[in-house]
Chain A
Amino acid sequence: MTKENHGDHEHHNHLRESETYYAARTKALESLFREKGLIGIDTVDRVIRFFEHDMGPFNGAKVVAKAWSDPAFKARLMADANAGIAELGLKDGIEGENLRVVENTATVHNVVCCTLCSCWPWPLLGLPPYWFKDPVFRARIVREPRAVLLDFGVTLPKEKKIEIWDSSAQVRYFVIPERPAGTENWSEEQLAKLVSTEAMQGLDLVKA
């Protein structure tokens, strides 16, 4: 047995209690929808598997690497992001309908947020990381973007302009970060490995 103080124990019991309620509630919902024939036995499993394995930040990183390596592709992507990702065989299913690509340059740094809820380009970035859904983040990124960027370890030159893009049902934004120096001869595969989820939302810089 490990040592455990009383406070921790109570906290634990409380968590277990609410967990039991939510677990029972979601089971009840799923059970009823199966019974009504609205979903099959493994429908929910398949949805989860799809989001965990077929969609994810590796898709977005592939798009960024291609855009860095192929200016003509980048131009097409900037003009019509959905058509651009389709060229790479990426699907734009639920929550990826209206993508728009913004590019970080020497003079402009783009950051994406969603002040309404948590709109997120799922096909490119997978499920949103928890900080994107955090109300403090949502409030602060709009009010004091430089301070938030600093918390993420990103320091920008004073003269660089910061643009905040608010994703919504109509448009979900996706950032092409600046390509790091010294990667001129790198392959797309090598480049893609450098690109983080945060970088594709403007909260990280790509370093080689």
Chain B
Amino acid sequence: MLAENYVEDMKGGRDALPRNCESLLFEEPWQGRAFGMALALANAKAYQWESFRQSLISTIGNWDQTHEASDPTWNYYEQWLSAFEKLVLGSGLISPEELDRRTEEFRTRTREEVI
């Protein structure tokens, strides 16, 4: 696979590349939880890993189509979480209502559960 084959599909600005090459695990704890959950549920055979991957590819694809490549609001784990939500809601593992209700409970701290 050579570069030329992909050039036509490419877009985005000429902004400088981030120079810090240190690998970064998670900027915030929730990112680690979202990461771990997507893998844990695949291990538990709740879905095929490939289904998650496809959900991630299409989620990132949507972002790429609606944003400039240099858009500073890009956040990989927001894409990851969104892809994960789409998959688990779409496959009926949980319902949007129960997810929203529980999110609100954690947000307003009316739920006592240590995660």
Bound together: yes
Given contact pairs A36-B93, A127-B35, enumerate 8 new A-B contacts (beta carbons under 8 Å): A22-B81, A24-B104, A27-B102, A29-B84, A130-B18, A148-B17, A152-B19, A204-B21
Q: B residues within 8 Å of A by Cβ? A: 1-3, 6-7, 9-25, 28-37, 39-44, 46, 49-50, 53, 56-57, 60-61, 63-64, 67, 69-71, 74, 76-78, 81, 84-85, 88, 93-94, 98-99, 102-107, 111, 113, 115
> B74 near A169 (CB under 8 angstroms)?
no
Q: A28-B102, A136-B17 are in contact. Are A48 and B32 (CB under 8 A)?
A: yes
Contacts of A94 in B (CB 8 A): 39, 42-43, 49
Contacts of A103 in B (CB 8 A): none
User: Could you jot down 24 A-B contacts, CB within 8 Å?
Assistant: A20-B107, A22-B31, A25-B99, A26-B34, A28-B105, A29-B37, A30-B33, A30-B115, A38-B46, A39-B41, A95-B49, A116-B60, A116-B61, A129-B21, A130-B76, A134-B74, A136-B70, A139-B11, A142-B3, A151-B16, A151-B17, A152-B19, A162-B3, A166-B6
**Most-contacted residue by chain A among B21, B64, B81 (CB, 10 A):** B21
Q: A residues within 8 Å of B by Cβ? A: 19-33, 36, 38-39, 43-45, 47-48, 51-52, 57, 94-95, 115-118, 126-131, 133-140, 142-143, 145, 148, 151-152, 162-166, 169, 196-198, 203-204
Chain B contact surface mostly? helix
